[in-house]
Amino acid sequence: WTYHIFFFFLPVTISSTAEKVIYLVIFHLSFAMFVWSYWKTIFTSPASPSHEFCLSKADKEQYEKEERPESQQEILRRAAKDLPIYTTTASGAIRYCDRCQLIKPDRCHHCSSCDICVLKMDHHCPWVNNCVGFSNYKFFLLFLMHSLLCCLFVAATVLQYFIKFWTIELRDAHAKFHVLFLFFVAAMFFISILSLFSYHCWLVGKNRSTIETFRAPTFRNGPDKNGFSLGCSKNLREVFGDEKKYWLLPIFTSLGDGCNFPTRLVIMDPEQLTVSSQNEPAKSPGANQSFPTRPLSESQNRLLANDSQWVESGPEEENVKTGAKKNIIVSLES
């Protein structure tokens, strides 16, 4: 609707050829980026856990035969020994999806609409008829940003003619209707999208998903909504990547594999502390850092490089020093 009305309205109101050319170039650029981002958000399949998180055929059959939860959990624990990372509930039970028949990795949730487990699931968006998660979260943010800019441009260019309408300087009867309709609709969409875009910008700065905002992930030391936050700059890089030249393009550049995420709150188990104190001489804080059983990807190591502590901005939060290993994450069942 914006595209057709804008070009019907353009020749009636704008007399300068140079002004028309400028309007057309800017509008087409913003419109093209909006369509590209929208397309990528819709047609990018939600990322699901790899086959290594699925139970073997023998384990599946044995799991289905067992009726006691304790026996089922024992089967899951045996299957999870070879996994690089997995999550448990607050009671210590391994998070398992009966529909997909797999052990859930970090921040993974089952979408009832798509009927699949989605890595770092944020929400299921009816606007794009797709799940927003690890594979397309950057595209979703760009879709919101470019649609916001497109609506802002249309509302700003129509504003002067909207003012002329009320001062009876706009004489063309056909243009009057289009001026009113175009301005009000563009302004309405701008306000609604601005609130949604601002909310997701806040989520990126805190390194949270929408699900984690309403239900905080639980670590071994208790629930913490900021457990994945590494600071605003690193949180931004985790979504948009290291190369800033690709940040505004709907090209996948997010860091990590969607299964394993560095955390801010890192506390060693008592037995880990005992082993490390026996095997290693005393070192300065931050010097004896190690990471999960499966090494973090190169991109994640860059996020953690040269940091003796991670600080989350905000008056209510404390500076937390990194420990020696990442906790196995304990989150509630999706």
State the catalytic residues: 125
CB 227 within 8 A of CB 215: no
Cα–Cα distance, 8 to 85 (Å, whole number): 57
Which tokens is 194 given?
């601005």
Beta partners for 109?
A: 118
Look up tokens 């856990």; give the residue: 49
Cα separations in angstroms, 178 against 1, 52, 162, 166: 11, 57, 10, 14
Report the candidate in 316, 311, 269 with the shortest Cα–Cα distance to residue 290: 269
Secondary structure class of 71 (helix, strand, coil): helix
Cα–Cα distance, 193 to 149 (Å, whole number): 10
